[in-house]
Amino acid sequence: MKIGLALGGGGARGLAHIGVIKVLEEEGIKIDYIAGTSMGAIIGAMYAQNPNAEGVIKRLKLFLQSTDYDALGVKYFFPKREKTLSFIQFLYKGLRERFSIELSPRRKGLIKRERLDYALSFLIDEGDIENTIIPFAAVSTDLSRGKTVAFRKGDIRKAVRISASIPGIIPPELESGMALVDGGVTEPVPVYAVKEMGADFVIAVDVSVTQLDNFVNPSIIDIIARTETVRGIYLSGELVKHADFVFHPDLKDAHWSEFLRYEEFIQEGIDEGKGKVNELKKQLRKYRSFWRRLWRNRC
């Protein structure tokens, strides 16, 4: 029986993935396949290349404490609620000051993809997906056809960058008639993708928002943001119904850009993992018993 791990998207909330993985590793639960969407693809690729949770955590912390992280500019997207500035005013002011961009209809993204490429060169080793220690797939969405595209061959950094290209923030990758963006558009938790790899038992890690604040006197941008959040929660919930076991760290309404809360998010993943790992072991024993009986009957 092969175990697959489906790591969902969620920006900074996805740092909880490595906390869950750390618990699985400590409990001796071997992962045979990994599929990741967006931040799940970043964590998944790091672990698939070097299956050592502590090593991945150390590498993440080094990056988030470095000037390379500051240069990425993600922190300027956090919606600070200043009394004198609305969110859209703050966002526009921050972007103008930090990126000196021209907000025109012809622009395809707010951050150049080279910034994300540079960050991934810090986190992920150079190489091809098919050469990872644990078989890995990076999930993206083709806006041209409205379909999910899972990368299982080729440059791993490029595949992960495409999987993490948030629409409107990072420009889409245009190739072979496709317009490829963040996999969260169609498969925020890549349950189907890891099943297609050959997984018999799927463990999903859903890091979607677990708490919504009161929706009082919203602005246009608030309505758009809340709509996208609710869509993501609903779609993730439907996808994980097709997994065999689900971890869902309680990250409340943490914003996708709050990477500097990494200690808290990783610990939340550890807590979720420890709280449910015994239940997971029971499910695995049942499935293994079923597969043994099936194999004996075939023989």
Closest CA to 41 of 235, 193, 249: 193
Encoding tokens for residue 151? 């990368």
d(CA 163, CA 70): 21
The DSSP secondary-structure symbol of 177 reads T
Tokens describing residue 276: 């449910």
Place of tokens 């963040």: 182
Collect all residues with Cβ–Cβ distance below 8 Å to 259 and sequence separation of at least 6. 11, 12, 15, 64, 69, 74, 75
User: How do beta strands 173-175 and 136-142 pair?
Assistant: unpaired
Query: Which DSSP string corresponds to 77-132?
Result: GS----TTS-HHHHHHHHHHHHH-----TT--BSS-HHHHHHHHHHHS-SSBGGGS
Taking the C-alpha atoms of residue 178 and residue 173, their distance in angstroms, rounded to an integer, is 8
Report the C-alpha gap between 69 and 125 in whole angstroms. 17
Q: How many CA atoms lie within 13 A of 255 on its CB side?
A: 12
- Determine the length of the chain: 299
- Rounded-to-integer distance, Cα 163 and Cα 39, Å: 8
Q: At 147, list the tokens.
A: 């379909």
CA distance 47 to 123: 10
Query: Which residues carry out catalysis?
Result: 38, 182
Provide the residue type at 98 as one letter. Answer: R
